[in-house]
Amino acid sequence: MKLTAKVFFVVSILAILSAFTVFPLMTGAVNYVPGVKAGDWIKYGQYKVTWSGNGTPPSYISDEQKVEWYRIDVENVSGTTVSMNVTVELNNGTQRSAQDDVDVLGNASMGGIPLLIASGLKNGDPVNNLTSSPTINQTTTGTYAGATRNVNLAESTSVSGNQTYTSRIYWDQSTGIMLEIYSKSPVYGGQGYSELSIKATETNMWSPDLLGLLTNNLIFIIIGIIVIILVIAAVLALRRRKPSVGKD
């Protein structure tokens, strides 16, 4: 398979971008500044693509279903432009990489894919200063890569004929880096739907907090507690069954 990381990501996100409503541009209302620096990285270890509908899924969906994870490495920041390396690993262990420059003003070369937006944006701000920019619908909190973060959400649901497009994109408010994507979009003229779900799981841009550690390791914590309870119960049972030694 000769698809690069860039191609993988483009076919994943184009449908998401098409679902957003275009909002009027608020010229001069927002200061678009990158919140990342060279050496920052983030990995999306939760990656899932599903297909429902008639017939077989398109080939690009089958290709996306082979993806294990994505990783973004920031290589350089110059003004409003961030140079990044995007790496994707497939389920056979093969890796593909692509270089890309993203301008937080909106002049991204990767088909306008919002891997990164400006830092410090808030509810009501356009994602960038292009006239076609989606607007942040909500600033909330979420747990990503082991920490509770303030996040910006842009979401949209649109209907065209009998076809419905749904999308949600979350960015870290402080750094502007993309944290999570969910989309559901029709393909083949509505004969089927594809769903895409991506979530950040590791980064060096912040440290896990206690709540994040508990959330991310809850299943292991529960298993550990169960094991401890079983061990204690076994020890108590053995003590009860131990015959008493009679006195001479």
Q: What residues does 172 pair with on adjacent strands?
A: 151
Asked whether residue 20 is domain-assigned, the answer is yes
Comparing 33 with 226, the larger pLDDT belongs to: 33
Q: Give the sheet arrangement for strand 41-44, strand by strand.
A: 95-103, 81-90, 67-78, 41-44, 202-203
Instruction: Name the percent of the chain lying above pLDDT 90.
Output: 37
**pLDDT for 216 beyond 70:** no
Residue 141 within a domain: yes
Which pLDDT score, from 0 to 100, does residue 201 have?
A: 94
pLDDT at residue 221 in the model: 66
pLDDT at position 165, please? 81
Burial 153-185 (b: 16+ CB within 10 A, else e): bbbbeeeeeeeebbbbbbbbbebbbbbbbbbbb
Helix (H, G, I), strand (E, B) or coil at 112: coil
To 10 degrees, the CA torsion angle through 59, 155, 213, 49? Answer: -10
What percent of the chain has a predicted confidence (pLDDT) above 70?
76
The DSSP letter of residue 107 is: -
Predicted confidence at residue 10, as pLDDT, reads 46
Matching residue, tokens 């979401």: 155
Number of domain units in the chain: 1
Residue-averaged pLDDT of the chain: 79
Residue 215 belongs to a domain: no
Q: Identify whether the C-beta of residue 83 lies closer than 8 Å to the C-beta of residue 92.
A: no
State which residues form the domain around 60.
5-208
pLDDT of residue 176 exceeding 90: yes
* Per-residue pLDDT at 115: 85
Average pLDDT in the 215-226 region? 69
Give the per-residue pLDDT at 17.
47
Phi, psi of 95 (to 5 degrees): -115, 145
Whether the per-residue pLDDT at 34 is higher than 80: the answer is yes
Q: Name every residue whose Cβ is closer than 8 Å to that of residue 59 and which is 6 or more positions away in sequence.
A: none
Q: Which two tokens stand for residue 157?
A: 């649901």
Contact predicate 122/136, CB 8 Å: yes
Any domain includes 246: no
pLDDT of residue 156: 84
Find the mean pLDDT for residues 92-117: 78
Query: Could you tell me the CA-to-CA distances from 61 to 1, 52, 157, 185, 206 in Å, in that order?
Result: 13, 11, 21, 12, 32
What pLDDT does 225 receive?
A: 82
Per-residue confidence band for 35, with pLDDT thresholds at 50, 70 and 90: very high
